[in-house]
Amino acid sequence: MLSEDQRSHWEERFRAFIEAKSFPCVGAKSALSRGTLATVVCHSIESSWDDLVIYEKLLDWTASYQEDPSLFRSLAVIFADDEPLTEGQFELALWNRVQSLTDKDAWLGLPYDGRVSSDPDDPHFSLSFGGEAFFVVGMHPQASRPARRFERPVMVFNLHDQFEQLRAQGRYEKIRETILERDIKIAGSINPMLARHGEASEAAQYSGREVGPEWQCPFQNPRAAR
């Protein structure tokens, strides 16, 4: 079992990672400064041990957002016990966790957010927990992109509706350009996996590994399978 000191250590390390001048995502920085970047420290991304804890946090996060749909909220799940994984191993573990969480959502009979698609091949795909759409940003020590390279595996859950709010306010493109410019400064090149929602499926972006058009997402919505 993780001690409180261990949990505090990794929460502080992750906050320092986001606060670093070189970290490109201004949305995450804003969430941190506003106190709306929540963290939960778990054991291993390769284990289902903490899946129920993560899922309950997602439901709480969804309910909180629906009561107060303010911008720049993120839920970061930090896996403290893991040894370094290859990009392929991390990708597999990330999708195993996503599938387990989705199975729990379906088992409870909660609807998939009707504003997005549950088909990972669809350009309008997003995940859904508690009826609210999410996308995931994966981070881990062996990530090829510096912005994704944290000391332990992390899954950051972001609410899809926030980006629709930014579009409606005319702020999305400016924020996106700022993030891209900052990312190029630390990586030396643009992230080849980045695409706007509705142009290509976001599923290929979750793990951070560069994949080609032949890549097959291992996710399946159990509601559709019925």
Q: What is the pLDDT of residues 183-217, one digit of tens each?
A: 788 878 877 666 665 678 899 999 999 998 899 99
Q: What is the pLDDT of residue 48?
A: 96
Write the burial class of residue 139 (CB in 10 Å: 0-12 exposed, 13-18 middle, 19+ buried): buried
Q: What is the pLDDT of residue 195?
A: 65
Q: What is the pLDDT of residue 36?
A: 86
Put simply, whether the predicted model's pTM sits higher than 0.85 gets the answer yes
Q: 10-residue block means of pLDDT along the chain (226 residues)?
A: 92 96 86 90 96 97 86 91 90 98 97 95 95 95 94 95 81 77 81 67 92 92 77
Q: What is the pLDDT of residue 41?
A: 97
* Bridge partners of residue 137, in order along the sequence: 156
Instruction: Give the separation between CA 112 and CA 103, rounded to whole angstroms.
Output: 11
Q: Which strands sit side by side in the sheet containing 132-139, from one edge to the other?
A: 37-42, 74-79, 154-159, 132-139, 127-129
Q: What is the pLDDT of residue 175?
A: 72
How many CB atoms neighbour CB 210 within 10 A? 13
How many CB atoms neighbour CB 208 within 10 A? 22
Task: Quote the tokens at residue 98.
Answer: 């996503």
For the chain, domain boundaries: 4-211
Residue among 162, 139, 163 nearest 68 (CA):
162
Q: What is the pLDDT of residue 108?
A: 96
